A = this chain, B = another copy of it.
Amino acid sequence: MNPTSALTRGLRQIGMVEATEQPSIIGALRDIAPDLATMTIAFVYGDIYSRPALDLRQRQFVTVAALAAMGGLEPQLRFHVAGALNVGCTPAEIVELMTHLVVYAGFPAAVNGILVTKDVFGERGVAPGAVATQTQTPGNRYDRGLACLRAIDGAVGERVIESLNGIAPDLGRFVIEFAFGEIYTRAGLDLVSRELVTVAALAALGTATPQLKVHMHGFLNVGGTTEQLVETVIQIAAYAGFPRAINAALAAKDVTNERMSGGH
């Protein structure tokens, strides 16, 4: 784990994400903060990106979701949407990821993420892919959403809906009809990736620990592993700072303890 090898490993990883042997961050920071460029490569790419448990496609999902959810980080989002394409994420998956974020970061963040994506796709001559438009059977939105909520979040998710009774039952209905009935049931991004993206966005925002825990359970329920969950949290340290990563790690600890104690 010495810095030299971290730098070497990092150059290889950032090289794959940026599809270059000359990472642009070196030139951008050369005259002002060259050490920050070195740290980015050695720590973010050498120490974090090169770890197992998450492959490069999954790491790009995590990073893109975190950056789009936090907002205001367009240069990095542009870099990482391109990076997602470079490591094999499909255009349709990226569009779906942004669409998925309406639920967790709101429509403005999702729309801004899509507009950055549109620019990147334009520069690369990439088409958004066939699943950009999907028609859902309108009739049974509620039933479809409730089944999906139950399958993903189980009892923990239903408890959230119940907690809204007596104050905002329509908000609970919208969670079922819209978040689960319309968004989660779309094609283009598999369920494990949807929960990966959800955990990444909520951990990066740092403002909704109860929901972060619900979706950590959800991630594990649909086939994600504890190791992947922890890796996601570690990667958040690079994009939203260590405090939010530490808090997300402690949430993950609670979640795994709940599952071991059978309380879930």
A: residues with CB less than 8 A from B are 1-4, 25, 28-29, 31-36, 39-40, 43-44, 47-48, 51, 67, 70-73, 75-76, 95, 98-99, 101-112, 114-115, 117-118, 121, 128, 132-134, 136, 138-139, 141, 160, 163-164, 166-168, 170-171, 174-175, 177-179, 182, 186, 202, 205-208, 210-212, 230, 233-234, 237-247, 249-250, 252-253, 256
Contact = CB atoms under 8 A, between A and B. Distances in A.
Contacts of A34: 132-133
Nearest to A206: B207
B249 A168 contact: yes
B182 A239 contact: no
Given A32-B121, A72-B72, A108-B73, A171 B47 contact: no
Chain A interface secondary structure, helix, strand, loop or mixed? helix
Contacts of A182: 39, 43
B105 A241 contact: yes
Given A73-B112, A174-B237, A241-B104, A252 B40 contact: no
B163 A36 contact: no
Contacts of A70: 71, 108
How many copies of the polypeptide does the oligomer hold?
3
A230 B133 contact: no
Contacts of A177: 1
A39 to B, nearest CB: 7
A171 B53 CA distance: 14
